[in-house]
Amino acid sequence: MEDTRRLVADETEPETPMAVVPEEAATPRLPAADGSDVPEWAVVPKDLRPPKGRQVIFLRIPAKMTDAPLKGERQCIVWTLSDGDEKLAAERCEGKAGRASAEYTKQMIRSVDGHVASWMKAGGPGSLDEFWREIGGKGRNLLMRVYSQLHLADDEELRDFFENCIAVRTVG
């Protein structure tokens, strides 16, 4: 069997020997958008209207990863936040920074199990709060990872930005 481990330097201590890290330790990335149709497993509400030109992400969470496995596989449809979406999520944080990640992630959810996501319903079809509770810690963490990848520049994008998109001058 081929050794898929790689060596990664520990940069915290210059004298520390290199650590062996499994190849799969790298964070998996979202796949690139393609022009194909909706995945066959996705249930799209007929009244869901994504903004034109926006990437739409279809997600399914296996039942065994949720806190409500008897409800079966769960799915949602998400897309990136607008400025208005960010303001709504920030208001729900009520000044508590620890809530930001969850509230911003919940805000990107546009469809829940084939129903348009609803902030108004305490339960029932489309209820974001019920969905968020039932997908459990693993499901919530997966969605927060998707949020991060959609809204934060990756290493390559950061490098390109700082190397090619900034000009600094001294005035005088």
**Closest to 48 in 3D by CA, of 129, 106, 110:** 110
Strand pairing report for 5-8 and 19-22? antiparallel
**Closest to 87 in 3D by CA, of 72, 98, 75, 100:** 100
Q: What is the pLDDT of residues 56-103, one digit of tens each?
A: 999 999 999 999 999 999 999 999 999 999 999 999 988 888 889 999
Q: What is the pLDDT of residues 124-148, one digit of tens each?
A: 889 999 999 999 999 999 999 999 9
**What domains can be seen in the chain, in order of their start residue?**
26-154 (3.30.2220)
The stretch 160-167 carries a mean pLDDT of 95
Q: How confident is the model at residue 22 (pLDDT cuts 50, 70, 90)?
A: low
- The alpha carbon dihedral of 115, 119, 124, 129 has a sign of positive
Q: Exposed (0-12), middle (13-18) or buried (19+): which is 56, by Cβ within 10 Å?
A: middle
Q: Which two tokens stand for residue 73?
A: 């596989």
62 or 7, which is more confident: 62
Residue 111 has a CB neighbour count (10 Å cut-off) of: 25
Torsion, Cα 50 56 61 62, to 10 degrees, reads: 110
